[in-house]
Amino acid sequence: MTKLRFFVNALSIGVLIMAASAIASAQATRTWVSGVGDDANPCSRTAPCKTFAGAISKTAIGGEIDCLDPGGFGQVTITKSITIDGCCISSILGTSGSAININVASGNVNDPKRRVTIRHLTIQGVDQGSKGINVIAASMVFIENCFIQNFTQEGVNASLAESGTYVSIKDTNITNCATGVNITTTTGFDLASLEKVRIEKMTGNGLNIGVHGHAHVRDSFIVNNGADGVSMAGGVTDGTANLESTFVASNGSAGIRNGGTGSIIDISNTSIMQNGTGIASSSGAAGGGVNSHGNNMISGNAAPGTTPNGVGQQ
């Protein structure tokens, strides 16, 4: 009887090990989706899935989902480190809620298992979806070569509850949303980096920096937005923004607004033109406010607003 029980226990352990191995082997480091795929497939190149949601469960942590052809691959919630590459510029149609939710369980902000990359996607809200990319929790998020348009709230929203998250947006167009990019957190220090980004035709602010938010902007266009081009809210006392070689023009309210005493916006090689107000600052030359490095073009605004510290051209 003892030998029989030992045999049964050993057999059970062996079955569990084989089952765990089978589950692990089912998750590939690279999976594929296609407009003619099927989510019942293993998401291999020869048997692709139909949607990103179908492929993500079959993709290992740190793996990549690639598109075999252009198509619409559905909304997706990301809860682990992963890269989604549209390859041929594929699309997500987000007609309700957020097209992409990124919510990787909280932990070490340097953990590579909490990094997410979104690349080569058209993300379309058709004036019904709320947010294009909604970052809830992650260590790093990289958004590259994307078109995000027609959402009722933010194109990219990073409203975070942890400190140290880094959101990088590069070579991306954001158009026809309520707010282009929003960065804010309830604690600590979170950073958004924008390079070669176009934020156009928002009904509200182009770039919105909330509590504990920090932004670096380079070689970008923030134009034709209904409210402010770059806006630091009045309650933000520790925010920062640095603008280098950026064009801020034809925004309905201020080109650049710093409403929070204690927050600082630095501008260099930046043109601020044809806005409702050029620069709106609560503190101006008395401290904080907006600092100019003496090489900016601030011209043609309906009201010049506050003269920045170290102003170059007004």
Q: How many domains does the chain have?
A: 2
Q: Is residue 199 part of a domain?
A: no
Q: What is the pLDDT of residue 111?
A: 78
The CA-atom distances, in angstroms, between 295 and each of 28, 154, 216, 271 are 51, 32, 18, 9
Q: What is the pLDDT of residue 9?
A: 54
Q: What is the pLDDT of residue 306?
A: 86
Q: What is the pLDDT of residue 24?
A: 42
4 by DSSP, 3-state: which? helix
Q: What is the pLDDT of residue 100?
A: 97
Q: What is the pLDDT of residue 268?
A: 96
Element (H, E) at 208: strand 207-209
240: left (phi over 0), alpha (psi -120 to 50) or beta: beta
Same domain, 83 and 153: yes
Q: Is residue 26 part of a domain?
A: no
In 3D, which of 266, 265, 271, 264 has the Cα closest to residue 296?
271
Query: Do 223 and 230 meet the contact criterion of CB atoms below 8 Å apart?
Result: no
Q: Is residue 231 part of a domain?
A: yes
Question: What does the DSSP 8-state code read for residue 14?
Answer: H
**Can you list the residues of the chain whose pLDDT is less than 50?**
6-8, 10, 13-25, 284-287, 312-314
Q: Is residue 151 part of a domain?
A: yes
In 3D, which of 256, 250, 252 has the Cα closest to residue 270?
256
Range of the domain at 108: 63-189
CATH number of the domain that 88 lies in? 2.160.20.10
Query: Do 70 and 90 meet the contact criterion of CB atoms below 8 Å apart?
Result: yes
Same domain, 211 and 185: no
For residue range 128-183, list pLDDT tens digits in order.
Answer: 999 999 999 999 999 999 999 999 999 999 999 888 999 999 999 999 999 999 99
Q: What is the pLDDT of residue 87?
A: 83
Same domain, 169 and 286: no
Same domain, 176 and 76: yes
293: left (phi over 0), alpha (psi -120 to 50) or beta: alpha
Question: pTM of the full predicted structure?
Answer: 0.87
Same domain, 183 and 213: no
Same domain, 223 and 271: yes
For the record, the structure tokens of 237 come out as 């006392």
CA distance 202 to 225: 5
3-state secondary structure string across 153-176: CEEEEEEECCCCCEEEEEEEEEEC
138 phi and psi angles, rounded to 5 deg = 180, 165
Backbone Cα Rg of the chain: 23
Q: Is residue 75 part of a domain?
A: yes
In 3D, which of 232, 237, 239, 235 has the Cα closest to residue 255?
232
Of 189, 220, 254, the residue at which a domain comes to its end is: 189
Same domain, 234 and 274: yes
Q: What is the pLDDT of residue 228?
A: 97
Same domain, 71 and 126: yes
Of 189, 215, 233, the residue at which a domain comes to its end is: 189
Q: What is the pLDDT of residue 162?
A: 87
Q: Is residue 243 part of a domain?
A: yes
Same domain, 230 and 167: no
In 3D, which of 160, 151, 162, 75 has the Cα closest to residue 118?
75
